[in-house]
Amino acid sequence: MGLKHLNPPELPDWSALFSQIVVAEGSQHRIVAISGQVGVDARQVVAGDGSFEAQTKKACKNLAVALSAARCSVADLMKLTIYVVGYGPEKAGVITEVLRQQFGGGDLPALTLVGVQALAKPEFQIEIEALAIATP
């Protein structure tokens, strides 16, 4: 089983530090690890007005782009880990709403929600990493 590293041009280029996506493809399954997606565009500009909601929506859109680049969909997601700066209950409502928009009424993946002091850049408020499993 070999590893394939992907850095789609629609996502920020962090390739000097890490790959956006790593795919391990075997005969029966593809395991897809997606690096933490933040609320920025391909030029690393923070989404919208920089609010938590705007960043959360953009991080989810970036996750969808990463899944597509790896030939997966949200239905293939097995696990999400979400890191939130200054986590409080009010942010859980925003996350829940955005995830429901992303996933619709279907089953949700396993989830770990972690409150953190800071992320890679001071303006980042949320980061979403994922693990997906799909068929080749």
* Percentage of the chain exceeding pLDDT 90: 88
Within 13 Å of residue 101, how many CA atoms lie on the same side as its CB?
Answer: 14
The token pair at 107 is 């089953």
pLDDT score recorded for residue 57 = 97
Residue with tokens 């799909």, as numbered in its chain: 134
* Percentage of the chain exceeding pLDDT 70: 99
Handedness of CA 79, 72, 59, 35 (dihedral sign): positive
- pLDDT exceeds cutoff 80 at 105: no
Structural domains in the chain (count): 1
Give me the CATH number covering residue 91.
3.30.1330.40
pLDDT, mean over the chain: 95
Query: Tens digits of per-residue pLDDT, 14-51?
Result: 999 999 999 998 878 999 999 999 999 999 999 999 99
Cα separation, 134 vs 23, whole angstroms: 10
- Structural domain boundaries enclosing 121: 2-134
Q: What is the mean pLDDT of residues 98-106?
A: 86
Helix (H) or strand (E) holding 126, with range, is strand 126-134
**Position 42: which residue type?**
A
Cα separation, 94 vs 118, whole angstroms: 19
Q: What is the mean pLDDT of residues 97-123?
A: 92
Q: Which residues contact 45 (CB under 8 A, 6 or more apart)?
A: none
Cα separation, 129 vs 136, whole angstroms: 22
- 3-state secondary structure at position 131: strand
Q: What is the mean pLDDT of residues 93-104?
A: 91
pLDDT score recorded for residue 8 = 97
pLDDT score recorded for residue 130 = 98
